[in-house]
Amino acid sequence: MNIKKNMGRADRSIRFVVGAVLIVLYFMDIISGTVGTIGLVFAIVLLGTSFVGVCGLYLPFQYKTCEPD
């Protein structure tokens, strides 16, 4: 199964920065408990989609933020 990238450079950069900030906040104990755990999971998802370039939520709606081929 070959899934084409559907995220542009700006989208991927924003996700990377937000994910990194959430991870830093979690490990500095600025956010903790349930909110911290949810934030950490969200950060991992953001970083993963940033590296892969594919957002699963964009697929059903055929939404793309990348430049056309």
Q: Domain of residue 69: give its range.
A: 1-69
Q: What is the structure's pLDDT at 69?
A: 64
What's the total number of domains in the chain? 1
Going by the DSSP 8-state scheme, the letter that residue 55 receives in this structure is: -
What number is the average pLDDT over the span 37-50?
A: 96
Residues 61 and 56: their CA atoms lie apart, in Å, by 10
What are 23-36's pLDDT values in tens digits? 999 999 999 999 99
- For the entire predicted model, the pTM comes to 0.86
What is d(CA 63, CA 10) in angstroms, rounded to the nearest whole number? 15
How many degrees, rounded to 5, is the angle at CA 25 between CA 38 and CA 45? Answer: 40
